[in-house]
Chains A and B, each alone.
Chain A
Amino acid sequence: MTYRLEMKEMSKKYGEFLANDAISVQLKKGEVLAIVGENGAGKTTLMRMLYGLEQPTSGEIKLNGKTVKFSGPLDAIEHGIGMVHQHFMLFSDFTVTENIVIGHEPKRNGFFNRKEAVEKVKELSEQYNIYVNPLKKTGDCSIGEQQRIEILKVLYQGADIIILDEPTAVLTPLEVQELLKIIEFLAQQGKSIILITHKLPEVMKVADQITVLRNGRVTGNVLKQNTDVEQLATMMVGRELQKLTDRIQLDSLPLLVIDNVTIGAKDAKPILDHLSLTVNRGEIVGIAGVSGNGQSELIQAISGLRKIDSGSVTLGDKTLTGKSVAYRRNAGLAHIPEDRYLWGAAKEATVEETGLMGYYRKKNLNQSSFIRLKPFRKLVSAWIDTFEIKTSSLDEKSGNLSGGNLQKLIVARELGFETDFLIAAEPTRGVDIGAMEYIHEAIIEKRNNGDGILLVSSELTEILTLSDRIAVMYEGKIVDILDRKDATEERLSVLMAGGNENESSTKTTTTA
């Protein structure tokens, strides 16, 4: 049997840099191929060549045994290749139908035949079990729905090979489950799927065949039944992952106490609704929740970036309510922000300047308001060494660092304050597995050191790996707090979607 798609010895050079080095993959009809690898491993380059966005330096692409060359995406689409981008390319003012048929509208007498278009979308939606409301305005659709629109668009254009680029990055856990079902069903219908991702558990659920890339090379090509998450991770990182340090049981004295905090109570639905939560010393409290349920506002309320309307926040014996950011930081709060470009750094500032934030006020680095750069430079150089931050120099602009390296710089800076309490919001967003491991280890060590950590993350795996207790946020409230041993992805997913768990008998309300 010939393969539906064969990519042979594909190489791509950017100047001296070899982004793809003789990569070969094959894909059969009805098969799901997962391409996994860390950021910069070459996944995107490979797919851009397949989609006609880049011309390979060498290598060949065969469709159904015939060699093809794509001049551009339109060419690729004509040949039955469709791509669902990580960032959706939809017109939010158009209806779902209009977005799906765009470019290939059914016409009558030269005019757009809306009725037929809606019929076609409905047909397609039923054929592939992908539910959408054809007449809804796209801007009103959830992220999951928008992704389904993108998939239907690709199907409408007649794709047999569908590339999904990091499709689960933006989805809630329930939406992820749904998407995986859609992928399986599409494969059953004879479509071939290429799934680009770095989330290994998802790969193990739907992929038939897995190709692992590292530094532009194939480091493994395995069938799902012959492998497991650990082996894939090893192939991705190039070494075995270490086990996290054990947790020491510590006496849990309350450290951060959030009491009855409300934001925006007056007219509309409050953003934070009489929220109370305690983080103890030597404890990591994870906050799980679909983004937009008040997590960002909670972080800002604690760190002083947002005023609260009622309630109080205390850290140790200090009241933080109404105090400035600087006061809170001096009182022993450090903060890895959720959005590194918005809060965590200034893109035009140098690496040194981004690292200096907060330190320039410290007595040992400030001599009658002149900043002592020499000792500080030593400190930053130490961070760069321990966190393996890749930067050409301390004078490099922060904006020129890759996302993962900038994140490491910010994490190093905030850990470097050695405060009693740390807010870690999305601490490993966009960093590679090696760095993630390092950051996780640092957080656990901080916990074992007797410090308190509030972890906010949209990655359930991260929450489950690190947290001692997990608080689930829904619509500005904490709906439940689960102990580490009782928490499972399934239970959290239900709680995060607002479903209450009253029917479950194992409910544990450990409200500290």
Chain B
Amino acid sequence: MNLQRKLQQLLSSMVQPLTAVLIGLLTGAVAISIVGASVIETYKVMWDGAFGNFYFITATLARATPIIFIGLGLAIAFRAGVFNMGAEGQMVLGAVSAALAALYVPGPGIIKILVALAAGFLAGGLWSLLAGWMETRFKVQLLISTLLLNYVAVLFAGYLVSHPFQDKSGSAALAQTTMLNQAAWLPKLFPGMSVNLGFVIAIVFAIILFIILRFTSAGYEVRMLGYNPFFAEYGGINKIKVLLYSMFSSGGIAGLAGTVEVLGSQYRYVEGSLTVPGYAWTGLMAALLANSNPLGTAVAAILLAALQTGAMGMERNTEVPLEIASVIQGVLILFVTAKITINWWKVKKKGGDIHGAA
């Protein structure tokens, strides 16, 4: 009985994101037929590109790895009731710090990896904490500060790798660090496949976060703060402390997105390599689609990554342009935000007739 109700709850919580995905695909279908291609054929090619064989599956998971981290980081902030829009900056700072730590910290590979992970987490976390501190100290709105701090972080990281830490060994002076010692690389999960240990770390993080949010007092405090800050304060929750902790871990996990990309896939920090694929925004979508449930966020991140790898396969094999994926994503965003707006509107409306119980 209880289980049945839980299942029902789970299902009903999935109706909305699934509807959004469905409508996204339908809109994509319209776009595809306008281009003049066969819808079924194109989607089949897309599916193959994302999950067609073991190689493509691992490619999808590899692409999903940073997106999961970003989504998890943002989910914490959302759960605490604040908008962290600074995942991109946090990720980039995490990446560049991890790269530098792995390059310059002496010791065996495992030490380099651990120090780099810590450095990546810390860099992203502190960057995010700065925004949190400005909010609590000077009432600078998080939405704005985190967004603007992205520019500072991305440009600063770009400066680091184009001047003091630039790789001067190659012929072309690219804005990138030198390559990491192979000992400091995160191992690939399967030989010849792009997915690396970072994916496993991401999934472990998703499970840990789920447990923390669901079963511990810290998680309870974060959730209650997000639901109703007044209620949290009234019940004796230290609002400022919880907010700062949440922002720190939110940014830290976003920093890990950059870290595992550096350690597991690019083996150096290359300017633009994290911002151009739009990981941060895809991660944001994953968190929104899953309503900030950590496990759901991981699933949504994999789905969105599949959409992207699938679209690449589609472009390789058909006449349909890559932008179809953007159309589908765009519609997804629209519906996800519509959901937020509707919820907000409902809350407002309910708030209006709270006292109308006659």
A residues whose Cβ falls under 8 Å from a Cβ of B: 39, 43-44, 86-87, 165-166, 196, 303, 305, 324-326, 328-329, 335, 337, 341-349, 353-354, 356-358, 360-361, 366, 369-371, 373, 393, 395, 399, 402-404, 430
Residues A371 and B217 in contact in the complex (CB < 8 Å), given A325-B233, A357-B235, A430-B357: yes
Q: Which of B109-117, B148-156, B223-231, B280-288 contacts A (4 or more CB under 8 A)?
A: B223-231
Across the two chains, which residue of chain B brings its CB closest to A403? B357
* Complex Cα spacing A329 to B217, Å: 17
Q: Is the CB of B350 within 8 A of A329?
A: no
Give the chain B neighbours of A366 by CB distance below 8 A. 217
B34 CB within 8 Å of chain A: no
Within the complex, what minimum Cβ distance (angstroms) separates A349 from chain B?
Answer: 5
Q: Is the CB of B227 within 8 A of A369?
A: no
Once A and B bind, how many residue pairs between them come within 8 Å at the CB atom?
95
* Complex Cα spacing A86 to B356, Å: 8
* Complex Cα spacing A430 to B231, Å: 19
B171 CB within 8 Å of chain A: no
Q: Is the CB of A356 within 8 A of B236?
A: no
* Complex Cα spacing A86 to B235, Å: 32
Residues A324 and B227 in contact in the complex (CB < 8 Å), given A39-B357, A43-B358, A370-B216: no
* Complex Cα spacing A373 to B220, Å: 12
Residues A360 and B220 in contact in the complex (CB < 8 Å), given A325-B236, A370-B215: yes
Residue in B216, B227, B238 with the greatest tally of chain A CB atoms within 10 Å: B227
Give the chain B neighbours of A347 by CB distance below 8 A. 227-228, 347, 350
* Complex Cα spacing A370 to B228, Å: 22
Q: Is the CB of A395 within 8 A of B358?
A: no
* Interface pairs (7), CB distance under 8 Å: A305-B233, A329-B235, A346-B227, A346-B231, A353-B224, A357-B234, A403-B354
> Which B residues between 46 and 99 are near A, CB-CB below 8 angstroms?
none
* Complex Cα spacing A370 to B234, Å: 22
* Complex Cα spacing A341 to B238, Å: 20
**Cβ contacts B217-249/A at 8 Å (1 or 0 each):** 110100110011011111111100000000000
Q: Is the CB of A357 within 8 A of B231?
A: yes
* Complex Cα spacing A403 to B238, Å: 27
Within the complex, what minimum Cβ distance (angstroms) separates B208 from chain A?
Answer: 13
Give the chain B neighbours of A87 by CB distance below 8 A. 353, 355-356
B137 CB within 8 Å of chain A: no
Residues A196 and B358 in contact in the complex (CB < 8 Å), given A345-B228, A353-B220: yes
Residues A344 and B231 in contact in the complex (CB < 8 Å), given A369-B217, A399-B350: yes
Q: Is the CB of B216 within 8 A of A343?
A: no
Which residue of the partner chain, among A325, A349, A356, A371, contacts B234 with CB atoms under 8 Å? A325
Give the chain A neighbours of B238 by CB distance below 8 A. 324, 326
Give the chain B neighbours of A395 by CB distance below 8 A. 5, 9
**Cβ contacts B15-27/A at 8 Å (1 or 0 each):** 0000000000000
Which residue of the partner chain, among A166, A305, A337, A371, contacts B220 with CB atoms under 8 Å? A371
Residues A345 and B220 in contact in the complex (CB < 8 Å), given A39-B358, A371-B215: no
Q: Sorted from nearest, which 8 A-B pairs have the closest CB atoms?
A: A346-B227, A326-B236, A357-B235, A346-B228, A343-B234, A325-B236, A403-B357, A346-B231
* Complex Cα spacing A430 to B353, Å: 13
Q: Is the CB of B217 within 8 A of A360?
A: yes
* Complex Cα spacing A335 to B233, Å: 12
Give the chain A neighbours of B217 by CB distance below 8 A. 360-361, 366, 369-371
Within the complex, what minimum Cβ distance (angstroms) separates A374 from chain B?
Answer: 12
Q: Is the CB of B236 within 8 A of A329?
A: yes
Residues A44 and B358 in contact in the complex (CB < 8 Å), given A337-B234, A358-B235, A371-B217: yes
Q: Is the CB of B5 within 8 A of A393?
A: yes
Within the complex, what minimum Cβ distance (angstroms) separates B242 from chain A?
Answer: 12
* Complex Cα spacing A345 to B232, Å: 9
Q: Is the CB of B358 within 8 A of A165?
A: yes
Across the two chains, which residue of chain A brings its CB closest to B219? A371
> Which B residues between 303 and 356 are near A, CB-CB below 8 angstroms?
347, 350-351, 353-356
Give the chain B neighbours of A393 by CB distance below 8 A. 5
Q: Is the CB of B224 within 8 A of A346?
A: yes
Q: Is the CB of B220 within 8 A of A343?
A: no
Give the chain A neighbours of B227 by CB distance below 8 A. 346-349
* Complex Cα spacing A335 to B236, Å: 11
Within the complex, what minimum Cβ distance (angstroms) separates A195 from chain B?
Answer: 13
* Complex Cα spacing A225 to B233, Å: 51
Q: Is the CB of B5 within 8 A of A356?
A: no
Give the chain A neighbours of B358 by CB distance below 8 A. 39, 43-44, 86, 165-166, 196
Within the complex, what minimum Cβ distance (angstroms) separates B48 from chain A?
Answer: 41
* Complex Cα spacing A357 to B234, Å: 9
Across the two chains, which residue of chain A brings its CB closest to B236? A326
Across the two chains, which residue of chain B brings its CB closest to A357? B235
Within the complex, what minimum Cβ distance (angstroms) separates A370 from chain B?
Answer: 5
* Complex Cα spacing A440 to B217, Å: 33
* Complex Cα spacing A138 to B102, Å: 69
* Complex Cα spacing A344 to B5, Å: 27
Extra A-B contacts (4), CB below 8 Å, given A370-B217, A371-B216: A44-B358, A324-B236, A370-B215, A373-B215
Within the complex, what minimum Cβ distance (angstroms) separates B321 from chain A?
Answer: 42
Give the chain A neighbours of B347 by CB distance below 8 A. 347
Within the complex, what minimum Cβ distance (angstroms) separates B347 from chain A?
Answer: 8
Give the chain B neighbours of A166 by CB distance below 8 A. 358
Give the chain B neighbours of A44 by CB distance below 8 A. 358
Within the complex, what minimum Cβ distance (angstroms) separates B94 from chain A?
Answer: 27
Across the two chains, which residue of chain B brings its CB closest to A300? B234
* Complex Cα spacing A128 to B142, Å: 56
Within the complex, what minimum Cβ distance (angstroms) separates B353 from chain A?
Answer: 8
* Complex Cα spacing A345 to B355, Å: 15
Give the chain A neighbours of B228 by CB distance below 8 A. 342, 345-349
Q: Is the CB of B234 within 8 A of A303?
A: yes
Q: Is the CB of B230 within 8 A of A342?
A: yes
Give the chain A neighbours of B223 by CB distance below 8 A. 349, 353
Across the two chains, which residue of chain A brings its CB closest to B229? A346
Within the complex, what minimum Cβ distance (angstroms) separates A372 from chain B?
Answer: 10
* Complex Cα spacing A86 to B357, Å: 10
Within the complex, what minimum Cβ distance (angstroms) separates A64 from chain B?
Answer: 28
* Complex Cα spacing A345 to B218, Å: 18
* Complex Cα spacing A435 to B350, Å: 24
